[in-house]
Structure 1
Amino acid sequence: MNATDWLGFVGVALILLAYFLNEIGKISNKNIAFILLNLIGSTLACLASVLINYWPFIILEAAWALVSAVSLYKYYKPSKL
């Protein structure tokens, strides 16, 4: 396996870990760990897809990273009183 394979493998593993932990009730989808696992995982998977120039997964993982980034923003955004 080369570095690109490892980037993709680690990225997908982080996304799957977030999903698994959510499914077994260990973390909620509003939990910072869930958000960060998805954000970091999708960013790594997107980077690996860019390196191999595979557009379907570039689009998928970029969208996943964007949704995760929005969730992170909402997590830290001060609530209105």
Structure 2
Amino acid sequence: MKMNVVCGWFGAALILAAYFSVSFGLMTLGDGGFQAMNLFGALGLCVNAYAKKAWPVVALEVAWMLIALVSLIRQS
């Protein structure tokens, strides 16, 4: 399996796990772990989208990463 595909699946799993965790009260939106999962999940999906030249998805994931990064910086 190509590395970009592995990154994409890993990223999707992280974002889904973060959403699940907040939805079922295992984490809160203010948890650094939630934002870190979103940051690295978006990075994985961005790697996959870049390899496939899916530019709208790349733009979405870059924005997702920036939001998560700013949130992490503000929390620290």
- Please tell me the TM-score bracket, short chain as reference: over 0.9
**Bigger radius of gyration, 1 or 2?**
1
CA positional deviation for 1:59: 0.8
User: Partners in 2 of 1:48 and 1:30 — Cα distance?
Assistant: 28
Which residue type is aligned with residue 44 of structure 2?
A: L
User: Partners in 1 of 2:44 and 2:56 — Cα distance?
Assistant: 15
Q: Give the TM-score, by structure 1 length.
A: 0.88
Is 1:35 aligned to residue 20 of structure 2? no
Runs of 4+ with deviation above 3 angstroms: none
Q: Identify the residue that residue 79 of structure 1 maps to in structure 2.
A: none
CA positional deviation for 1:2: 2.0
CA positional deviation for 1:46: 0.8
In the alignment, structure 1 segments of 5+ residues that lack a partner are 77-81
Q: Equivalent residue of 1:53, what SS?
A: coil
Q: Identify the residue that residue 44 of structure 1 maps to in structure 2.
A: 44
User: Partners in 2 of 1:4 and 1:44 — Cα distance?
Assistant: 8
Q: Identify the residue that residue 23 of structure 2 maps to in structure 1.
A: 23
Q: Identify the residue that residue 53 of structure 1 maps to in structure 2.
A: 53
Q: Identify the residue that residue 62 of structure 1 maps to in structure 2.
A: 62
Q: Equivalent residue of 1:64, what SS?
A: helix
CA positional deviation for 1:43: 1.1
Q: Identify the residue that residue 73 of structure 1 maps to in structure 2.
A: 73
User: Partners in 2 of 1:17 and 1:65 — Cα distance?
Assistant: 16
Q: Identity across aligned pairs (percent)? A: 34
In the alignment, structure 2 segments of 5+ residues that lack a partner are none
